[in-house]
Structure 1
Amino acid sequence: MSSADSSFLATSSLLSKNVYKTILRPKAPDYEVLWVLRCGVVATAAISAGMALTMDAIVYISYLCSDFVYVTVFPQLLLSVHWKRGTNSYGAITSFLIGTVMRMLGE
């Protein structure tokens, strides 16, 4: 359970701080960001529970999670190590999109 609640909190923190506060509402007060964080925890838990109830085996959930993480993280890691001029936010977004598209076209 401690791993699950850490994952819920990490995902919600990432979304509330990096997406909501940085992109959507830069001047949002702290109580509003905290509200978004709490809603994100509930939404993440609901999505996880729905996936756990609909999947046949835990192996499929593990495969889905690891596949998504490796596809989105590996291109960013590879490009940040070998391409010094592209190590900025545009390069990270581009590598995320390229990895996702390649994964969708691959299977």
Structure 2
Amino acid sequence: MHEKPLFIPLRTRHFADFEAGTKTVEYRQHKRQWNLRNVRVGRRATLSLGYNGGKRLYGVVTSADVRHSSTLPEYDRAAVLECYGGDVELICIGIRLEGNGNGR
């Protein structure tokens, strides 16, 4: 059975950071969809500019671990606090883009 790629919608600034190669880890609150059962090393990932954006980047999950947001570097922790409103348990998803990121 062929597994569907992990779909990861991103805000504009985070998408741009992945596109520029300055971001390689995405943080999501550890819960239903975002868990170590679904987010596995080797699984393909589609990074999308928003939910319906035309821009996509393609890659593969290179790491996945769970940690508390209070342990993140300050820049990343600030982004998590902005998104979730407080410290939370996260799944940290390492992603390597394939080719130039557009699947080619």
Q: Normalising by structure 1, what TM-score?
A: 0.21
- Give the structure with higher Rg (CA): 1
Using CA pairs under 8 Å that are at least 6 residues apart, name the structure with larger relative contact order, 1 or 2: 2
More strand by share: 2
More helix by share: 1
Q: Normalising by structure 2, what TM-score?
A: 0.21
